[in-house]
Amino acid sequence: MDYVDGFVAAVPLTAKAAFIAHAEAAAVVFLEHGALSVRECWADDVPPGEVTSFPLAVQCRDDEAVVFSWVTWPDRATRDAGWAAVMADPRMSAEENPMPFDGKRMIYGGFTQIVGAGPG
């Protein structure tokens, strides 16, 4: 089964177009370095919680939206090598492709897929 990297971030509403451009450029790099797919999703039904929620997890402000993203890889070894290559790729530098959001509030992690159903 695939290996998945998941991400949640808070992006300023005014930076949506910049985020899309950033994500599209990054997706090209990830795919060139072994990723099977890259998905970026802009929240439109993400309720705030009292104890836990996507907005709470990333300290989302009123002028921001939650973005939920994932990258799939064929396996952990490909992901590890791919990430090393992605991080070394000059197209991912802060000067070349700056993050249009506060990266300190992004949460992320790698996951071994344990159930897979349906296409893609």
Query: Predicted confidence band at 16 (pLDDT cuts at 50, 70, 90)?
Result: very high
Q: Domain spans of the chain?
A: 3-112
Please list the residues that pair with 40 across neighbouring strands. 69
Q: What is the CA radius of gyration of the chain?
A: 15
What pLDDT, in 10s, does the model give residues 104-118? 999 999 999 999 888
Mean pLDDT along residues 2-8: 97
**% of the chain surpassing 90 pLDDT:** 94
Looking at the structure, give the CATH architecture of the domain made up of residues 3-112: 2-Layer Sandwich (3.30)
**What is the per-residue pLDDT for 37?**
97
Closest CA to 31 of 67, 69, 73: 73
Res. 120: pLDDT tops 70 = no
To which residue do tokens 């897979």 refer? 116
What pLDDT, in 10s, does the model give residues 49-93? 999 999 999 999 999 999 999 999 999 999 999 999 999 999 999
Res. 9: pLDDT tops 70 = yes
